[in-house]
Amino acid sequence: MSVLITRRAALIGSAAALALTSLVPSPSRAAARIQRLVSPGGIEAWFVQDATVPLIAMEYAFGGGASQDPAAKPGTGNMVASLLDEGSGDLDSKTFHERLDRRAIELSFSSSRDSFRGSLRMLKENKDEAFDLLRSALSAPRFEAADVERIRNQVLSSLRRESTSPTSLAGRKFLEVAFGSHPYGRSSKGTLESVPTIDVTDMRDYVARVIARDTLRIAVVGDVDPDTLGKLLDKTFGGLKAKANLTPVADVVAAKPPQRAFIPLDVPQTVVTFGGPGILRHDPDFMAAYVVNHILGGSGLSSRLYREVREKRGLAYSVYESLTWMEHSALFIGNTGTRADRAGETVDAIEREIRRMAEEGPTQKELDDAKSYLKGSQMLALDTSSKLAQALLQYQLDKLPIDYIEKRNGLVDAVTLEDAKRASKRLWGQGLLTVIVGRTPQAAAQPAASTPRAN
């Protein structure tokens, strides 16, 4: 699962803000211009040259991510991501941030399940300084004691808040049920027990093992010519270690449904997280699963779950379900919140609708409507430089061809009703892994305790 935790966005002036939100050409035009750029030093990037606005957006990733955290110290990659822009080389944290802010440079890092990611955005005129600050952050992080403890306290504060959040508790428990002791079963942010034990040696070891050129993937969209970009990439990434030293991660299938877990928490609204084993990105049935999943629980107000759970029964304000794929596994996962005394009824309604979809599949009209929506929505999903760069990076991580943008709608169109029914049975035929967080059934039957008002 792709869990992204972006630490900061630099303050930017009004001119930069305008540039950062400007539109790029439509995906069909941009797709025809995607280049596979190889720098003089051999660093590869997918690149769209676009002079519409004087902006450059770069997204990049190194293989590994949270799956490379030591088993006893989950959250190590997240701590690294949170500290790389807290000073590097001869620049302390204050000076490093001042240089970012002065030039309206946005620099951030995050640790997802399978990759350690970064994002860099700047105006064209500030590209040299922006790429140089990134080079310094990756190759010479300081990890000063005061900065480490400040960031550690921020992470722990966030984890404490999550320990009383029913949504966070349900999400964590779901991964534990689905993946057990596998790295995917651990929280990428770490735990209240693990984060205090992560030291500078752990973080420097993580950087030495993960930050390397052989797993690097890069996507760039913006106002820069190929020759200039190639030189910038060499200066930024060329000095990194040639090969990563990653701990192998085993393929894993999520736990077989049906299973149900309950976490008691005295809150008025009960949260339900549900899901099960998914379909891998390169499985022949993936696109059919993607289309039929939209019908069952995708975005908008037309999904079956929305109609059954909210419109017909008024059990929840919203309910959704989506596909999630990782390098070594896949899930479908959904979530809703409901009144504590109606949690059982809500779970029953979800299970009935998912069972019906598994047994019958969608109708031809539902399939046609879903295809139309998914083809049109791609335009909105790629309407800025940053969104396009993020998509091009994800396509690389998913090992898709460079012309995937052009092919994607054809793949959607090719899904038949038979394909959709087969994918429905594969996804939902076994039932659900369900995690419920809220008041016990006995307590839910009683009114919630009132909170005295302040005078």
Model pLDDT, residue 301 = 74
Say if residues 353 and 305 touch (Cβ distance below 8 Å).
Answer: yes
Q: In what order do the strands lie in the sheet with 106-111?
A: 35-38, 44-49, 217-222, 55-63, 115-123, 106-111
Model pLDDT, residue 328 = 97
| Segments in 63-141 forming alpha helices (H) | 76-83, 93-102, 127-139
Residue type, position 148, single letter:
V
Q: Which two tokens stand for residue 286?
A: 């993936």
Model pLDDT, residue 151 = 98
Model pLDDT, residue 448 = 41
Q: Which two tokens stand for residue 72?
A: 């006893």
Model pLDDT, residue 381 = 79
Domain 14-237 sits in CATH at 3.30.830.10
pLDDT tier for residue 31 given thresholds of 50, 70 and 90: low
Q: What residue ranges do the domains of the chain occupy? A: 14-237, 259-444
Q: Which two tokens stand for residue 326?
A: 């990782």
State pLDDT tens for residues 52-91. 999 999 999 999 999 999 999 999 999 999 999 999 999 9
Across residues 396-425, what is the average pLDDT?
A: 97
Q: Give me the DSSP letters along 136-202.
A: HHHH-B---HHHHHHHHHHHHHHHHHHTT-HHHHHHHHHHHHHHTTSGGGS-TT--TTTGGG--HHH
Phi-psi region of 362 (alpha: psi -120 to 50; beta: other; left: phi over 0): beta
CATH 2.60.260.20 fits 259-444, yes or no: no
Fold matches, 14-237 and 259-444:
yes
What does DSSP assign to residue 124?
Answer: G
Cα gap 125→131, rounded to integer Å: 12
Look up tokens 């031809």; give the residue.
364
Q: Catalogue the long-range contacts made by 319-324 (C-beta closer than 8 Å, 24 or more residues apart).
A: 319/350, 321/274, 321/275, 321/293, 321/296, 321/297, 322/293, 322/297, 322/298, 323/278, 323/279, 323/289, 323/290, 323/293, 324/1, 324/2, 324/278
Q: If residue 325 lies in a helix (H) or strand (E), which one and from where to where?
A: strand 316-325
Average pLDDT, the chain: 90
Backbone φ, ψ for residue 107 (5° rounding): -135, 125
Model pLDDT, residue 441 = 63
